[in-house]
Amino acid sequence: MLTLLPVLIISACSNSLSFEATTEMPVPLATPMPATVGIYYPEGFSDYVYRENTDDRKNWDIQTGASQTAVFDRLLSSMFDHTVHIEDLNQPDRQLDGIFSPELVTMQFAMPKETSTDIYEAWVKYDLRLFDSTGLLLAKWLITGYGKTSTEFHSNPVDGLNHAIGLAFRDAGSKLLLGFRANVEVQTWLAATGIACDNGADGCRP
């Protein structure tokens, strides 16, 4: 199980939040595909910070970059035999079978006092992209993640919101893992490269 420990947790006043999100990610139960895939994180992904400063959300500063990066690292390493981080999509690497890149589209939250419930909620949406080894876009699709938890289990907003964020990341990760092969463009890539085929057809990798 992957656990990221908080580096900073501060709650200065009733509507002020500043903390680094943590995530517990179980080891995915998946059979890795025989491929070497590059992982490209766009600028701002690995050090992403959600910031908001309104009357209701004063000085919100929620660091989620390290947590979401660790989740995708864990997922992709369970999906493929080999993964490597790459820094530039414009630098071709013929040794790669493909390049996977997630981009955070949106992150949203709901607090109990805002919805008149006892629930902390978090939503995330990712734009997922698959490129070939030269950086040519092959597939693009969206996944969303949702997490919620109750005030019954958390005594303060930091703990409650942090738990909801972690569950949203895990939900998005599960959808990636379960839905990857269902994408038609991904299926075309798998067949073209011989990474994985049905019924052991000729040209498929073992």
Give the pLDDT confidence of 39-60 residue by residue, as tens digits. 999 999 999 999 999 988 889 9
Stretch 173-188: mean pLDDT: 92
- Sheet containing strand 9-10, edge to edge, reads 9-10, 16-20, 58-63, 49-52
Look at the block and give the residue holding tokens 């929620």.
62
Domain parsing of the chain, residue ranges? 34-195
The pLDDT score that the predictor gives to residue 200 is: 45
Look at the block and give the residue holding tokens 């059979």.
31
The pLDDT score that the predictor gives to residue 92 is: 74
- In whole angstroms, what is the distance from residue 126 CA to residue 142 CA? 6
Structure-token pair, residue 82: 């080999």
Stretch 179-189: mean pLDDT: 93
**Residue 42 parent element (H or E):** none
The pLDDT score that the predictor gives to residue 11 is: 41
Percent of the chain with pLDDT over 90: 61
Neighbours of 15 (CB within 10 A): 16
The pLDDT score that the predictor gives to residue 196 is: 65
Per-residue confidence at 184, pLDDT binned at 50, 70, 90?
very high
- In whole angstroms, what is the distance from residue 106 CA to residue 121 CA? 14
The pLDDT score that the predictor gives to residue 76 is: 95
Q: For the chain, what's the residue count?
A: 206
Q: Tell me the CATH number for domain 34-195.
A: 3.30.160.150
- On the question of pLDDT at 26 being above 50, the answer is yes
The pLDDT score that the predictor gives to residue 66 is: 95
Stretch 169-177: mean pLDDT: 94
pTM confidence score: 0.86
Q: How far is CA 92 from CA 13, 40, 56, 72, 203, in A?
A: 50, 13, 47, 22, 24
Q: How far is CA 201 from CA 184, 195, 205, in A?
A: 18, 11, 9
Q: What is the DSSP pairing of strand 33-39 with strand 98-110? A: parallel
Neighbours of 120 (CB within 10 A): 26
3-class SS of residue 18: strand
Q: Kindly provide the b/e burial profile for residues 69-105, where b requires at least 16 CB atoms within 10 angstroms of the residue's own CB.
A: bbbbbbbbbbbbeebeebeebeeeeeebbbbbbbebe
Packing angle of the helix pair 157-179, 65-79 (nearest 10 deg): 30
